[in-house]
Amino acid sequence: LLALAEHPKVLADGWIIAALAWTCAACITTFIFIFVTKADRVSPNAATDKERQPLLSPTSVTPEKHHYKQKGLVIDKSDDVFHTAIVRLALVAAASTVCTWVRIWLFSMYVARFTARIRRTFFASVMAKDLDFFDGIETGDLVSRLMADTAVLGDSLSPNLDQFLRGFVTAVGVMGFIVMTSWRMSVLTVIFLPTFVVVAVFYGIVMKGIGVSGQSIMAVLGEMAEENFSNIRTVRSFATEEDEVQRFKGQVDNLYYYGKAEAWTHSSFQSLAWLFRVTLRLVVLFYGGHLVRIQVLSGGDLVTIVLYLEQINLSIVTINAVYGGMMKGVGASQVVFEYMDRKPRHGGQGSVVKDNFRGEIEFRDVTFAYPSRPHQTVLNKMSFRVSSGEVVALVGPSGGGKSTCVSLLQNFYRPSSGHVMLDGIPVHHYTHKTLHSKEPVLFSRSLRDNIAYGLDACSGVDVTSAAKQANAHDFICAMRDGYSTCAGEKGLQLSGGQKQRVAIARALVRDPAVLILDEATSALDSQSEAKVQEALSNSRQGRTVLVIAHRLSTVEAADRVLVVDKGRVAEDGPPSYLLALGGLYSALVRKQLIATGSQAVVS
Ligand code: ADP
């Protein structure tokens, strides 16, 4: 209920309201029905003969009944009462069957809808996070939160929520009957209940803690498994399988520790609950027996109260059983809600929508540190301009800040100070859709969809011409399913060069004003390299190109080179000029940090 109060949008649903209302209405109706039935019932335990009288009254014996009576069949008013009671019980049984069906259906539907909604909401909220959110969290952790934690939450709610409520309402209703039968006995019962509630709350806190810790370890396990399975070749080539198995075993042992803690807590609580129940039973019998002896309570009423108490006990058993599970689920979902609640650092995306960019880039006094490492200044008052249509190569020692420049230009992060501008407007003022990103990763869908990724309506012709420009058309057509071939991690295994050409096609299909390329450092065979180089030179025409270059041929083909070192632009000018300057650029070339051989290309 607390979570409901904090997250009304995620948890509140017409179905839960309907389910709650139905349960309460059905319980109240049942109690009223039982109460009415009780009112005109003549208790077999009635203390006085006066109460018994109507049952035995000969006036109610009709001639017909008399006939049966003579034949040895006893039919009198008590038989009518008996029959009516049976009919009413049958009605209660039929009504409760329908009510049970509706109740369980409503709650199960609620849980199914809730699980679906929380997964949707969680996924959508994670997708909208700033990139620095992902710097601090492993992918495996997020996947585990999305799948396992939400499932635990759903499972803990599904049978539990309705049983919990039913147990609670039954306990309250039966308590009402005890009050009506004997106030003394009800005071005794009420004195006992708080003790149990305190123990139950403590139990809930412990189970919630176990839920949080257990799911965190599950997340680590998911992360480790994902990392190892996706990097199985690296693990094999370094023969580190045994180390990885040991690391995994360490975490499984941790989880086992929480399993043991849960077993201990659960059994302790259940036995305490049992002790509570038998003690209550004994005390009621002892005190009730005393009241019967001093004739304050009838024997029949004591038996009735003992039977009611058994109902309360039954409710307590149900509440016990489900409460721990529910609290574990609440604990498990804590991180899910925490992730969803994390506010974006910079208040979301901008609102400027623009179709025709000129492609002018300007970094003005940009200082930046990654939010995950706020004390390490990566860019230090960096300034440069790139005019429309210019081809600029970013070079420099590894760690100098080249990729960071590109990330800032794509508005993945905000500078700590200064401005990153596109066509004179700070990039964070544009909407996300206006600034396209071109990730090299291929998704598990058709090559056509991969090229057209992120575009709403893209005709087949656009895809084909982009693929032709990117030198990808021929190899795609050579495949059995052509453009419908499924790419991605588990689909088709494309070669490095082919992946890069599909990535270039993806960039080109949008006909962007600014093309950002990052030459990969992985080696390609000379034939694919030539193909990718050709695709690159095709793609440069008529647009501003910013390329993080690792190959000398790419740098030489650029109009300008920016040497980025220690977060600043150390040198700026045409490649031939910088080579003659004899500074950092010429040193990089000499040290072959910019390779002339078959290293690299675009991603
Ligand atoms: P380059 O592309 O020139 O090799 P980068 O821009 O990738 O350099 O990195 C510049 C510095 O920023 C490096 O010290 C690197 O460790 C750090 N860095 C890069 N990405 C991140 C990140 N996501 N979180 C924290 N630090 C990062």
265-314: pLDDT as tens digits: 889 988 888 888 888 888 888 988 998 999 888 888 888 888 888 888 78
Q: Does residue 404 line the site of ligand 1, with CB under 6 A?
A: yes
Tracing tokens 């071109």 back to the chain, one arrives at 438
Would you call 354 helix, strand, or coil by DSSP?
A: coil
Find the mean pLDDT for residues 28-55.
Answer: 55
130: Cβ contacts below 8 Å, ≥ 6 apart: 344, 345, 346, 413
pLDDT bin (cut points 50, 70, 90) of residue 248 is: very high
222: exposed, middle or buried (Cβ count in 10 Å: 0-12, 13-18, 19+): buried
pLDDT bin (cut points 50, 70, 90) of residue 155 is: confident
156: exposed, middle or buried (Cβ count in 10 Å: 0-12, 13-18, 19+): buried
Sign of CA dihedral 308, 310, 314, 315: positive
Query: 433-457 burial, b if ≥16 CB within 10 A, otherwise e?
Result: ebbbebebebeeebbbbbbbbeeee
> Strand pairing of 379-386 and 361-368?
antiparallel
Cβ contact 332:149 at 8 Å: yes
Q: Which two tokens stand for residue 510?
A: 């949008």
Largest interatomic CA distance in the chain: 132
Distance CA 344, CA 490 (A): 33
| pLDDT higher than threshold 50 for residue 493 | yes
pLDDT at 63: 54
> Strand pairing of 568-573 and 361-368?
unpaired
Alpha-carbon distance values, 366 to 276, 403, 435 (Å): 68, 14, 19
241: CA distance to ligand 1 center in Å? 30
Residue nearest to atom 12 of ligand 1 (CA): 378
Q: Does residue 324 line the site of ligand 1, with CB under 6 A?
A: no
Cβ contact 338:416 at 8 Å: no
Cβ contact 393:572 at 8 Å: no
End-to-end CA distance of the chain: 49
Distance CA 73, CA 105 (A): 46
| pLDDT higher than threshold 70 for residue 461 | no
Q: Among 583, 181, 567, 197, which residue's Cα sits nearest to residue 401? A: 567
Helix count (H) and strand count (E) of the chain? 23, 10
Q: Which two tokens stand for residue 76?
A: 């009198």
Mutate to test the pocket of ligand 1, among 130, 403, 547 (most ligand atoms within 8 A of CB): 403
pLDDT bin (cut points 50, 70, 90) of residue 9 is: low
54: CA distance to ligand 1 center in Å? 94
Pick the most confident of 85-99, 276-290, 481-495, 520-534.
Answer: 276-290
Question: Could you tell me the pTM of the whole model?
Answer: 0.64
More confident residue, 518 or 216: 216
Give me the helix-helix angle, 160-181 and 77-127, nearest 10°. Answer: 140
Alpha-carbon distance values, 487 to 228, 436, 462 (Å): 22, 21, 19
Would you call 365 helix, strand, or coil by DSSP?
A: strand
pLDDT at 253: 93
Alpha-carbon distance values, 154 to 142, 421, 572 (Å): 17, 46, 58
The CA angle 26-30-36, to the nearest 5 degrees, is: 145
545: CA distance to ligand 1 center in Å? 21
| pLDDT higher than threshold 90 for residue 367 | yes
pLDDT bin (cut points 50, 70, 90) of residue 96 is: confident
Give the bridge partners for 569, in sequence order.
564
**What average pLDDT does the structure give for the chain?**
77
Distance CA 165, CA 112 (A): 18
Distance CA 568, CA 571 (A): 9
pLDDT at 407: 86
Q: Which two tokens stand for residue 592?
A: 């072959």
403: CA distance to ligand 1 center in Å? 7
Which atom of ligand 1 is least distant from the CA of 397?
3
More confident residue, 155 or 349: 155
Stated as kind and residue range, the H or E segment containing 149 is none
Q: Does residue 588 line the site of ligand 1, with CB under 6 A?
A: no
Q: Does residue 135 line the site of ligand 1, with CB under 6 A?
A: yes
pLDDT at 252: 93
Distance CA 125, CA 511 (A): 30
Distance CA 335, CA 142 (A): 10
496: CA distance to ligand 1 center in Å? 24
User: 139 phi and psi, to 5 degrees?
Assistant: -60, -45
pLDDT at 368: 92
139: CA distance to ligand 1 center in Å? 19
More confident residue, 285 or 338: 285
Cβ contact 146:123 at 8 Å: yes
547: CA distance to ligand 1 center in Å? 17
pLDDT at 456: 62
Cβ contact 397:454 at 8 Å: no
